[in-house]
Amino acid sequence: MSFAGLLVMLDYGAVLIFALTGALVASRAQLDPVGFIFMAALTAVGGGTLRDLILGRETVFWVEQPTYILIAAGAALLVFWTAHLFESRYRLLVWLDSVALAVAVAAGVGVAMEEGYGPVIIVIMGIVTGTFGGLMRDVVGNEVPLVLKQGQLYLTAAFGGALMAAGLDWLGFQRGEALIACAVIVWVLRAGSLIWGWKLPVYRPRPPRTRG
């Protein structure tokens, strides 16, 4: 597969899986089907839209190819009719989100590589693409943002994968390989954090302050 083909596949994958998580948040907020579609589409294309705007790309990816939105809408309706089959929707949400994060970080890294940016911008675009869709989902849907969960690897997983990809690219590895390594590392770090509690030390010198 060509590098451009891999990028398109990653974008489609991230859109589909993030859409499922957005719809799950809609189910927790007890919205109607159009609300499911809204939350799914917001989550699915939010990070990539911000990436495209910041990089000044000629056209935002889903404006050029509206199929992305139709996929998100289909995923939303699928969840509307099937979410009750799952015992814990929150657990499902968190695990789907981990896969979407991994795929979207790789998609963001890949676009920045393709446009010829240096390592700092490559890493940032991986993190932006990976995390801002979910962040918008959580802020709009009134959930505690996953990026802020204490004692879990989330931003760190995204950062680790994006950094690895930038490093492999710099070392001369093929870009396709770098992206796949990136997605694997993000997911392994995130999954390890969810299962075995892997984490970095957090800031905790004293009890948290009350909101001032």
58 binds a second copy (CB under 8 A): yes
The answer to whether the CB of 105 falls within 8 A of the CB of 132 is no
Nearer Cβ to a second copy (7/39) = 39
Alpha-helix runs per DSSP H in the chain: 3-28, 33-54, 61-64, 67-82, 89-114, 119-140, 155-170, 175-196
In the range 9-48, which residues lie near a second copy by CB under 8 A?
Answer: 26-38, 41
Determine the distance from the C-alpha atom of residue 159 to the mean position of all C-alpha atoms in its chain, rounded to a whole number. 12
CA angle 19, 23, 28 (to 5 degrees): 150
Integer-rounded Cα radius of gyration of the chain: 17
Nearer Cβ to a second copy (145/176) = 145
In the range 71-110, which residues lie near a second copy by CB under 8 A?
Answer: 80, 83-84, 89-90, 94
Nearer Cβ to a second copy (5/118) = 118
Which of residues 156, 167, 184, 198 is near a second copy by CB under 8 A?
156
**Binding region for a second copy (CB under 8 A) out of 6-14, 95-103, 119-127, 171-179:** 119-127
Which DSSP symbol is given to 212? -
Where along the sequence are the contacts to a second copy (CB under 8 A)?
26-38, 41, 49, 53-56, 58-60, 63, 66, 69-70, 80, 83-84, 89-90, 94, 117-118, 120-121, 124, 127, 131, 135, 139-145, 147-148, 150-151, 153, 155-156, 159, 199-206, 208-209, 211-212
